[in-house]
């Protein structure tokens, strides 16, 4: 039994991502999994970490 609701959510999301053959993104700067996908200035896809503000593409 999980120690918290957040652990259970992480476990369920991890299982769903594994079934969908997706991998979790993590910030290359701080390692956080709190990453948002955004439309870049040139129409490409970029990512931004909502934890530390680092952005990359």
Mean pLDDT by 10 residues, the chain (57 residues): 69 58 78 89 87 92
Taking the complete model, does pTM exceed 0.85, yes or no? no
| 27 exposure class (CB count in 10 Å sphere: 0-12, 13-18, 19+) | buried
pLDDT at position 51 is 94
pLDDT at position 8 is 76
pLDDT at position 1 is 52
Helix (H, G, I), strand (E, B) or coil at 45: strand
């Amino acid at each position: 039994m999980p120690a918290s609701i957040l652990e259970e959510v992480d476990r369920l999301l991890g299982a769903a991502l594994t079934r969908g053959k997706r991998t979790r993104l993590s910030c290359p700067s701080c390692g956080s999994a709190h990453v948002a996908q955004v439309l870049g200035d040139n129409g490409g896809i970029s990512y931004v970490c909502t934890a530390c503000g680092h952005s990359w593409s």
